[in-house]
Amino acid sequence: MSSRASVTFNSAFKRVTGQLHIGFALSKSPLAGLDMTEALRAAIVMGVSAVDSYIHNLCVESIVDSFLNLRPRTTSSGQIKIRIIEAERGFNSGSSDWLESEIRQYLARKTFQRAEDIGDALRFVDDRPKKWVRISRKIGTSAPQTKQRLNSIVDRRNMIVHEADIDPAWQHPRPLTPQEADQAVNFLADLVNAIDSECW
């Protein structure tokens, strides 16, 4: 059964693919002197953000569900720090909303984009060994290849966000083809599907 986090991801990812289609259309009808690849860059940025959000939601869902005895608890679930006053209010309310809020606050300053960070987050979801091997098998690559591919997409996202994707040596935007953007976006979707299938 798919996680609720994957349903949210799929909804958000429609915006990513929409942006990608805009990029495809614009790349076929360039306007004089304008770089028409910005929509492709936006698709990569939005795709990485969607993965980050998915991992956050997956962790929250897993910890709350394990607290409610709806799924097995991982050894890391108990490491989440919550405020006692919120726990008291939550127990008195009879709802688990307080716990979700506490977990989101605990994870709020963390980013789950690079392979190492995602692997660290998945300890709240799945205790079984060799997560990256199992995830990569679903994608059809090796664990090192999957991690390297993810990290290279995140590196490109960071170049776009932090450097406007300008090559410092040439002072021009780095080239980006529709095919490169399409492959990056498809990889991110495949990665989330593999994580949800293998770890959830």
Domain positions in the chain: 4-199
Q: What confidence tier does 137 reach under pLDDT thresholds 50, 70, 90? A: very high
pLDDT (average), residues 180-195? 98
Whole-number pLDDT of residue 13: 97
Residue 154 · residue 118 · CB < 8 Å: no
Residue scoring higher pLDDT (161 or 84): 161
pLDDT (average), residues 170-185? 94
Whole-number pLDDT of residue 96: 82
CA distance 95 to 119: 30
CA distance 84 to 94: 15
| Residue 67 confidence (pLDDT) above 70 | yes
Whole-number pLDDT of residue 31: 65
**CA torsion, points 187, 192, 195, 200, in degrees to nearest 10?**
-160
Share of the chain above pLDDT 70, in %: 98
* Own/partner long-range contacts of 161-167 (Cβ < 8 Å, ≥24 apart): 161/45, 165/41
Residue 4 · residue 57 · CB < 8 Å: yes
* 183: Cα separation from own chain's centroid: 16
Token reading at 5: 């986090």
Please give the radius of gyration of the chain, using alpha carbons only, rounded to the nearest integer: 19
Q: 166: part of which helix (H) or strand (E)?
A: strand 166-167
pTM strictly above 0.85: yes
pLDDT in tens, 15-36: 999 999 999 988 877 665 567 7
Residue 106 · residue 81 · CB < 8 Å: yes
pLDDT (average), residues 125-149? 97
| Residue 180 confidence (pLDDT) above 60 | yes
Q: What confidence tier does 76 reach under pLDDT thresholds 50, 70, 90? A: very high
pLDDT in tens, 91-114: 777 778 889 999 999 999 999 999
